[in-house]
């Protein structure tokens, strides 16, 4: 399961950097850097396309069914693009912006032009996809006697997704006759990643796992299927086993199914790894003909590794803005431990100031948001405020040990209760790291 990197030297001044291969075979190691218009961007390991071209102002990805684009900007660039792929999202976190395009639907091969520009607003997200809302616990401070205190939580408003900006065509500048070659530009070209599946061409098709190395607290999730091409109905037995590096079977599962001619047996696996010691394992699947002395019709397997258990550690980040009407109390933030092992309770105090010219009824929303802009939990309340009045609320949020590693933020938004217009927002970032 190793990726092999070859370096290709390009010496023409104005020639675009091109990475090209066969159908959905261009992938990249973690941290692969590309440069567009003076800024650097990171291609995620999930990127899987036919080819791509880096121009002065944009990147052109050639995609087909199953292609994936993952692009990160530490400068928090905005991204504009146009595609018929099913899932598209642009998430703006506290320290970076992330573009994700997943062509999981059946599409015609085409080119996606991604144009970075400007800087996004922290906490903003747009595109198609799914999110989930939950509830979280919190305690409030006393409200000023001249105005009513925040009311009990109510439903959060529906905020329409931001519109995708139009695609900007690349500007082609003809090379001048007098331009001399400059220092070589080194562009990594990565060969296809070795499959974790033993026999990718087998009639017993096992899908590639999202990754091949797991913490004991995680689950191995893969799908497999087998088509009866015998021309007649038949009863098959499926034996699925987990085998350690010494060849010992540590888990066995069986399934019997009668398949009509050309029928397809499909099965989704969610294998717990909790009781397996660290090491390398193979999940083997065999299909047997029960009426022919359990003859093996087809077999296949996928190789994975179980890592030594790591701790999940909370790492405190920073406040996104110091100029927002939504602010965080620095004294309370100073009491939060910079690092702590999960589960951990985090307490913070935020406020909103009505700087308008009239009394305001405000819907305050507190959300726990992951690095992709997905809302993990949400809490809302109603604040009625006089001119120049400031309300504060202290909340406590328990981060469970089940929270996946990654980047997160506590995002606070203030909306006008009637018009639903966004009045102000701010966020407090943090990370969950495996150590």
Residue 333, classed as helix, strand or coil, is: helix
Taking the whole predicted model, whether its pTM rises above 0.75 is answered as no
18 pLDDT higher than 70: no
Q: Do domains 216-306 and 312-434 have the same CATH topology?
A: yes
For 414-427, give one letter per residue: b (16+ CB within 10 A) or e: bbeeeeeeebbbbb
Give the pLDDT band (50/70/90) at residue 124.
low
| 26 secondary structure, DSSP code | B
Each domain of the chain, given as residue ranges in start order, spans: 5-129, 216-306, 312-434
Q: For the residues 34-62, what does the mean pLDDT come to?
A: 84
190 pLDDT higher than 50: no
The CATH class of the 312-434 domain is mainly beta
Average pLDDT across the chain, whole number: 81
Q: For the residues 68-78, what does the mean pLDDT come to?
A: 89
Identify whether the C-beta of residue 202 lies closer than 8 Å to the C-beta of residue 300. yes
User: Cβ of 369: how many Cβ atoms within 10 Å?
Assistant: 25
Which pLDDT score, from 0 to 100, does residue 171 have?
Answer: 44
Tens-place pLDDT, residues 201-257 = 999 999 999 889 999 988 999 999 999 999 999 999 999 999 999 999 999 999 999
CATH fold for the domain made of 216-306? Immunoglobulin-like (2.60.40)
Which pLDDT score, from 0 to 100, does residue 125 have?
Answer: 64
83 pLDDT higher than 70: yes
Residue 332, classed as helix, strand or coil, is: helix
31 pLDDT higher than 90: no
Tens-place pLDDT, residues 125-155 = 666 543 333 333 333 333 333 344 444 444 4
295 pLDDT higher than 60: yes
Tens-place pLDDT, residues 62-71 = 888 888 888 8
- Rg (C-alpha) for the chain, rounded Å, is 26
User: Above pLDDT 90, what percent of the chain?
Assistant: 53
Q: How far apart are CA 222 and CA 210, in angstroms?
A: 8
């Amino acid at each position: 399961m190793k990726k092999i990197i070859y370096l290709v030297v390009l010496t023409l001044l104005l020639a675009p950097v091109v990475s090209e291969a066969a159908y959905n075979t261009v992938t990249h190691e973690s941290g692969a850097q590309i440069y567009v218009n003076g800024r650097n961007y990171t291609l995620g390991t999930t990127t899987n396309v036919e080819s791509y071209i880096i121009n002065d102002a944009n990147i052109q990805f050639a995609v087909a069914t199953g292609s994936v684009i993952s692009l990160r900007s530490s400068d928090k660039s905005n991204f504009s693009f146009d595609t018929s792929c099913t899932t598209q999202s642009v998430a703006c976190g506290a320290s970076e912006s992330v573009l994700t395009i997943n062509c999981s639907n059946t599409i015609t091969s085409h080119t996606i032009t991604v144009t970075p520009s400007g800087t996004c607003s922290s906490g903003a997200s747009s595109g198609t996809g799914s999110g989930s809302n939950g509830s979280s616990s919190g305690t409030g401070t006393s409200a000023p006697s001249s105005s009513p205190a925040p009311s009990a939580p109510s439903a959060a408003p529906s905020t329409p997704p931001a519109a995708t900006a139009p695609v900007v065509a690349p500007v082609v500048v003809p090379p001048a006759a007098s331009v001399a070659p400059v220092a070589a530009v080194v562009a990594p070209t990565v060969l296809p990643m070795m499959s974790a599946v033993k026999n990718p061409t087998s009639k017993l098709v096992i899908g590639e796992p999202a990754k091949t190395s797991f913490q004991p607290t995680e689950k191995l999730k893969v799908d497999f299927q087998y088509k009866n091409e015998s021309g007649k109905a038949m009863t098959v037995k499926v034996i699925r086993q987990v085998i350690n590096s010494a060849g010992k079977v540590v888990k066995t599962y069986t399934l019997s199914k009668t398949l009509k001619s050309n029928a397809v047996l499909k099965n989704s696996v969610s294998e717990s790894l909790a009781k397996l010691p660290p090491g390398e394992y193979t999940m083997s699947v065999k299909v047997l003909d029960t009426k022919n002395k359990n003859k093996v019709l087809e077999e296949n397997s996928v190789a994975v590794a179980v890592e030594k258990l790591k701790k999940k550690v909370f790492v405190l980040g920073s406040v996104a803005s110091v100029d927002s009407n939504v602010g965080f109390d620095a004294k309370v933030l100073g009491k939060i431990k910079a690092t702590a092992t999960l589960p951990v309770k985090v307490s913070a105090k935020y406020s909103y100031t009505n700087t308008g010219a009239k009394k305001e009824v405000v819907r305050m929303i507190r959300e726990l948001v992951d690095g992709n802009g997905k809302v993990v939990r949400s809490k809302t309340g109603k604040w009625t405020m006089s001119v120049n009045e400031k309300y504060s609320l202290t909340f406590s949020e328990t981060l469970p040990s089940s929270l996946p590693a990654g980047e997160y933020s506590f995002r606070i938004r203030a909306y006008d209760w009637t018009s639903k217009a966004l009045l102000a927002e701010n966020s407090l970032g943090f990370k969950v790291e495996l150590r």
